[in-house]
């Protein structure tokens, strides 16, 4: 049950923050940035750990089978 609730939360967050890097802890969004580097920097500044970090791809990016960020 818990995983379904967490999956729904993550899907809602992805819809809200399309094209952004997101940091979530539990059911709370703790940071949102345009780049992975900015997000990691902010998490370190805040002293946060055990944060789930993910990218929410845009519809155009979803057209690709693989998406690599370098």
The pLDDT mean for the chain works out to 87
Burial of 25 (0-12, 13-18, 19+ CB in 10 A): middle
Prediction pTM value: 0.81
Predicted confidence (pLDDT) at residue 13 exceeds the cutoff of 90: yes
Kindly state the tokens that stand for 18: 């399309």
Kindly state the tokens that stand for 69: 């960020």
pLDDT tens-digit readout, 25-53: 988 999 999 999 999 999 999 999 999 99
pLDDT at position 17 is: 97
């Amino acid at each position: 049950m818990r995983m379904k609730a967490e999956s729904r939360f993550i899907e809602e967050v992805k819809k809200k923050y399309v094209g952004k890097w997101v940091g979530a802890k539990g059911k709370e969004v703790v940071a949102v940035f345009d780049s992975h580097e900015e997000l990691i920097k902010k998490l370190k500044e805040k002293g946060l750990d055990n944060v789930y970090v993910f990218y929410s791809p845009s519809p155009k990016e979803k057209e690709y089978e693989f998406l690599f960020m370098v």
